[in-house]
Structure 1
Amino acid sequence: MEIRPLGAADRDAVRDIGARAFGPVPDEEWERRGETARPTWEAGRWFGGFDGGRIVAAGALHDITQWWHGRGVSAAGVGGVAVAPEERGRGLGRRLTADLLRRCAEFGHPLAVLYPATTPLYRSLGWEHAGAQHHVELRTEALRTIAAEPAPVRRAGPGDAAEAAAVVGAVHAAARDSGPVGWEPARWRGMLGGRDDYAYLAEDGFLSYRWAEDGSRLEVTRLVASSERTLRALWSLVGSGSSTAETVRACVSPLDPVLWLTRERGPYALHRTPWMLRVVDAPAAIAARGYPAGAAAEAELSIDDPQLPANSGHWRLTVRNGEGRLEPSRESARALRLGPRGIAALYAGVPAATLYRSGLLHGADPEALRDAEALSAAFAATPFSLDYF
Structure 2
Amino acid sequence: MEIRDLTPEDLDDVLDIRKRSFGPLAAGDADRWRQAVFPALGEGRYLGAFDGSRLAGAARLRQFTQWWHGKPQPMAGIQGVTINPEDRGRGLGTRLMRAVVERAAALGDAVSALYPATTPLYRSVGYEHAGAQHNVTLPAEALRQIRPSGQVKLRRMGPGDAAELVSVLHRVHAAARSSGPVTWDEGTWSLWLGIEDDFLYLAEDGFVVYRWRGDDLLVDNLVAGSGETARALWSMVGSASSIARNVVAPVAPDDPVLWLLRERSKEEVKQARWMFRVLDVAAAVERRGYPAHVTCDAVVTVEDPLLGGGTWRLEFAGGSCAATAVSEPGVVLSVNAFSALYAGVPTATLRMSGLMSGDERYDEALDTAFAAKPYMLDSF
TM-score normalised by the shorter chain: which range applies? over 0.9
Question: Which moved further from structure 2: 18-27 or 98-107?
Answer: 18-27
Distance 2:244 2:272 in 1: 24
- Correspondence for 1:98: 98
Matches within 5 A, 1:1-389: 1-41=1-41, 43-150=43-150, 151-212=152-213, 214=214, 216-309=215-308, 312-332=309-329, 335-363=330-358, 368-389=359-380
Pairs aligned (count): 379
Per-residue deviation, residues 323-354 of structure 1 (Å, max 9, x unmatched): 1122101222xx10011001100100000100
Decide whether the 8 Å contact of 2:148 with 2:235 is kept in 1: no
Shift of 1:21: 1.9
**8 Å Cα contact 1:140/1:238 also seen in 2:** yes
In 2, Cα distance between the equivalents of 1:376 and 1:95?
Answer: 34
1:155 & 1:337 partners in 2: Cα distance?
52
- Normalised to the residue count of structure 2, the TM-score between the two structures is 0.97
Q: TM-score if structure 1 supplies the norm length?
A: 0.95
Task: Output one character per residue of 1:108-137: Cα deviation in whole Å (capped at 9) or x when no partner.
Answer: 000011111111111111100000111000
CA distance in 2, matches of 1:190, 1:7: 21
Aligned-residue identity in percent: 50
Q: Which runs of 4+ in 1 moved over 6 A?
A: none
Matched residue SS, 2:340 = helix
Contact 2:2–2:52 (8 Å) recurs in 1: no
CA distance in 1, matches of 2:41, 2:149: 44
- Report the alpha carbon displacement of residue 20 of structure 1 after superposing the two structures with TM: 1.1
Paired AA for residue 319 in structure 1: F
Task: Determine if contact 1:147/1:235 at 8 Å carries over to the other structure.
Answer: no
CA deviation vs aligned residue, 1:129-179 (integer Å, no higher than 9, x gap): 000111000011111131331211111100001111110121111100100
Q: Residues 95-118 of structure 1: CA distance to partner in whole angstroms, max 9, x if unpaired?
A: 111001010011100001111111
Q: Tell me, what secondary structure is at the counterpart of 1:243? A: coil
Shift in Å, 1:372: 1.0
- What one-letter code is carried by the residue in structure 2 that aligns with 1:284? A
Q: Which runs of 5+ in 2 are unaligned?
A: none
CA distance in 2, matches of 1:156, 1:39: 24
